[in-house]
Structure 1
Amino acid sequence: MASSWLLRGGVMTVVHVLARVLLGVAVIHSPLHSTTWKTVVVAVVVLIALLWGGVDGIADARANPDPDDYQDLTVRWLKAGVFAGVVAGVVSWAIGTFWFAGIGQANFAVELFAGGSFTALLIFVPAFVGAAVGRFLVRRDQRKNEPDTSDWSVHEARTEEISAS
């Protein structure tokens, strides 16, 4: 199970670092549109986490029809987000310090703690929401396929039986 969060954290680290480098290039070439570029980059990172979390939620709900048996996707994505935040902060600081000054990095402590926390939340919150929505969609489909056993339908069925006799 450790590889599960590690895989997600590693991929999201690459996504975040790549997004920061591409943002640096875009801002250098078009500084007047930096707000637009920042918005697009954050939206892409959030969308990837949201979709991956949704896929996790769908897979988990399909594998475990009983909600009591669901896996703990919250901790999985929290670990992935914290890992990605710390590693992306260190990598972004190193890239900005030694190779590409346009990445917009701060000093090491700020990059590690503030940047890492922001990145962790940028990954964790959308993934958590995606997992919840994915599970909800599967449960809704499962409920559609179940026979209706509410008290009202049982009452209607008994009424029909009595009136038919």
Structure 2
Amino acid sequence: MIPMNAWVLRAVGLGALTVVLRTVLGFAMVYLPTAGSWLRILCLIVLLAAVITWGVLDGQADRRANADPDRGADLTMRWLYAGLAGGLGSGVVAWILDFVPKFDLGDNGLLFEVTSAASFIILLIFVPAVAGVALGRYLVSRNGEKSDGAADTVVLNKETAGV
């Protein structure tokens, strides 16, 4: 069973980041309409960087805890749950915030926010996170192999020196 607090923390954090970025983008589109395309790309990069970084940290922590790849935690399901809850939650919150005066988040309906918008956010959370987990596990495994090789070299040198 996946600990609930692990995926809930990721869902709330990344869902909140999504809402903040959409809000900033909404204000920017009103006050800086000519910079909209650059700000969309910047918001996308910020979200992807946060997701990939968190995924890499998860993968590294898991590989350090379980050196055997067959005994690692099921981080795929953790990130799938986080993506689902983060995507749906951010869609509902964005829909509610759109009723607040001076908030321009696109005037999308609830059905759009919990289907199309949520599915996009789910993929933006899940796919990069799983890639980050794989990268994190690989980096720890690679560093482990390098340190094992260095230890063997030291032992060989001591043996040949007669120590």
In the other structure, the counterpart of 1:122 is 124
Q: Deviations over 1:1-44 (max 9, x none)?
A: 11100010011111010011011111111101111111111111
CA deviation map 1:104-159 (0-9, x unaligned): 141110111001100111111111111100000000111122359xxxxxxxx9xx
The one-letter code sitting in structure 2 at the alignment partner of 1:73 is L
Residue in structure 1 matching 2:67, options 58, 65, 68: 65
Q: Which residue of 1 aligns with 2:18?
A: 16
Query: Tell me, what secondary structure is at the counterpart of 2:56?
Result: helix
TM-score of the aligned structures, taking structure 2 as reference length: 0.87
Partner of 1:161: none
Note the C-alpha offset of 1:97.
2.5
Matches within 5 A, 1:42-61: 42-61=44-63
Amino acid at match of 1:141: N
In structure 2, the gaps of 5 or more residues are 151-155, 157-163
Indicate if the aligned counterparts of 1:61 and 1:135 stay in contact, CA closer than 8 A. yes
Q: 2:100 aligns with which of 98, 101, 106?
A: 98
Distance 2:41 2:102 in 1: 21
Match of 1:28 in 2: 30
**Contact 1:96–1:105 (Cα < 8 Å) also in 2:** yes
Indicate conservation of the 8 Å contact 2:18/2:47, yes or no: yes
Give the corresponding residue for 1:146.
Answer: 148
Query: Is contact 1:92-1:105 (8 Å) kept?
Result: no
Q: Which runs of 4+ in 1 moved over 3 A?
A: 98-101
Using the size of structure 1 for normalisation, the TM-score is: 0.86
Report the CA distance shift for 1:71/1:100 in structure 2 as closer, same or farther (over 3 A): farther
The amino acid across from 1:128 in the alignment is V
* Structure-2 change in CA distance of 1:34 and 1:147 (3 Å): closer
Aligned equivalents of 1:81, 1:15: Cα separation in 2: 13
Q: Who wins on radius of gyration, i.e. which is larger?
A: 1
Aligned equivalents of 1:107, 1:31: Cα separation in 2: 23
Letter in 2 for 1:43: I
1:55 and 1:112 mapped to 2: Cα distance? 29
Structure-2 separation of matches of 1:126 and 1:29: 31
3-state SS of paired residue (1:98): coil
Q: Percent identity?
A: 36
Change (3 A) 1:138 1:16: same
- Residue 151 of structure 2 is aligned to residue 134 of structure 1: no
